[in-house]
Structure 1
Amino acid sequence: MTVKKIGGWRQTSATEVYDNPWIRVTHEDVITPAGTAGIYGVVHFKNLAVGVVPVDEEGFTWLVRQSRYTLDAYTWEIPEGGAPVNEDPRAAAERELAEETGLRATHWEELLRLHTSNSVTDECAVVYVARGLSQGVTCHEDTEDIEIRRLPLTEAIAMAMTGEITDALSVAALFKLGLAWKE
């Protein structure tokens, strides 16, 4: 039996139980850090999550309200999407911003990198701040039912503070940008 060490954990077996174009799920038999036998289900993402907080010269940003199938609800969030792991994250972020809002930007700055839900998935995310904005035409995907809203960045941050925005990537990005904005 091959044993793979993962921090204080030991993986004794891993079996793929599901696969589609976006994710792969494995069932893993493990020995916990306490030495007991257990199981772990891991969702492996085939794409990198990318997000953008566009900010114009007046201090306004854009949010996207879209239907999220898994939640059976509409959510407000920053423009975001997925990119193949071998694609440049900024190029993917530029594409997502243009597709969802029609915006193009001349100045890009990486804001943060994070793991979206590290207890069950290996998904990684990169978020950028985009400035020097100009308006173009949106090009929504077939799976997107989108409403776009331009609002003061401070109002978007307040929406995250009150729980009106619950998307983890959006909340983290808005909070970090809000802290930097005050400095």
Structure 2
Amino acid sequence: MTDLHLKEERTGSELLFEGRFLNARRDTVRLPDGRSATREYVIHPGAVVVVPLLDDGRVVLERQYRYPVEQVMIEFPAGKLDPGEDPLICGQRELIEETGYRAREWALAGAMHLAVAYSTEIIHVYFARGLEAGARQLDQGEFLDVFAARPEELLAWCRDGRVTDAKTLSCALWLQNVLSGVWPLDWQPAPPPEAADNRGP
């Protein structure tokens, strides 16, 4: 089976906005039927989200105010990739910075495209276990609460609408299937600690 009958070909591109974090572009494309159309989208550097598993069965979560939606959101720890940064190193770094936890083992669960209609963002999903608590290293201007919850509590919040963050909803599905044994993970030892203490090039 081929996808050629669905693909769009870029014929022009215009930079609409260039920020410190995000860029926006407007492209002209040729549709499969030969007609032209425009596509406006955001270029995102990519990110990592971590599902941290405590030894007592609870998961580590955060409460953080998100300005665009003007709400405090319940989320799993996450952060954007630096240029050239390995997603695993990013996940390890973000977990330490935001929660203070270091993990002995990590497992890549998969990836998700957050908003395929208007963004290039891809989020790599990692699970972490064997957590050891330590001091947080929050970025300047970053404010968040860290807490733990039972998986059934998190799933109830997803059902009831208390959790609406897309990556956390997706991770809750992963968590449910991992804990039930339906989606096994390939656990690996953590990278050397110094790797997570330095940002990418």
| TM-score by shorter chain over 0.5 | yes
Q: Is residue 139 of structure 2 the alignment partner of residue 137 of structure 1?
A: no
The alpha carbon displacement at 1:156 in A equals: 1.5
Give the gaps of 5 or more residues in structure 2. Answer: 182-201
Matched positions, count: 178
- Which residue is equivalent to 1:177? 175
Partners of 1:111 and 1:29 in 2: how far apart? 35
Q: Is residue 19 of structure 2 the alignment partner of residue 20 of structure 1?
A: yes
- Which residue is equivalent to 1:39? 38
Range with greater deviation from structure 2 (54-63 or 150-159): 150-159
Identity of aligned residues (%): 28
For the 8 Å contact 2:105–2:128, the answer to whether it is kept is yes
The alpha carbon displacement at 1:72 in A equals: 1.2
The alpha carbon displacement at 1:51 in A equals: 0.9
- 1:144-163 aligned within 5 A: 144-163=142-161
- Which residue is equivalent to 1:115? 113
- Which residue is equivalent to 1:86? 84
1:39 maps to a residue whose letter is T
Distance 1:42 1:105, change over 3 A: same
The alpha carbon displacement at 1:12 in A equals: 1.9
- Select the structure that is richer in strand: 1
Superimposed CA distance per residue, residues 98-125 of structure 1 (whole angstroms, 9 cap, x where no aligned partner): 1111111001011121111111111111
2:118 maps to a residue whose letter is V
Distance 1:131 1:23, change over 3 A: same
The alpha carbon displacement at 1:86 in A equals: 1.1
Runs of 4+ aligned residues of structure 1 deviating over 6 Å after TM superposition are none
Q: Secondary structure at the match of 2:140?
A: coil
- Which residue is equivalent to 1:49? 47
Distance 1:164 1:12, change over 3 A: same
- Which residue is equivalent to 2:66? 68
Compute the TM-score of the two structures, normalised by the length of structure 2: 0.82
- Which residue is equivalent to 2:164? 166
2:52 maps to a residue whose letter is P
Partners of 2:94 and 2:158 in 1: how far apart? 21
Partners of 2:150 and 2:11 in 1: how far apart? 51
Partners of 1:160 and 1:11 in 2: how far apart? 39
Range with greater deviation from structure 2 (162-171 or 72-81): 162-171
Q: Secondary structure at the match of 2:81?
A: strand
The alpha carbon displacement at 1:178 in A equals: 0.6
The alpha carbon displacement at 1:94 in A equals: 0.9
Q: Secondary structure at the match of 1:149?
A: strand
Please report the RMSD computed on the Cα atoms of aligned residues, expressed in angstroms: 1.8
Q: Secondary structure at the match of 2:84?
A: coil
Give the gaps of 5 or more residues in structure 1. Answer: none
Partners of 1:115 and 1:149 in 2: how far apart? 27
Partners of 1:141 and 1:79 in 2: how far apart? 14
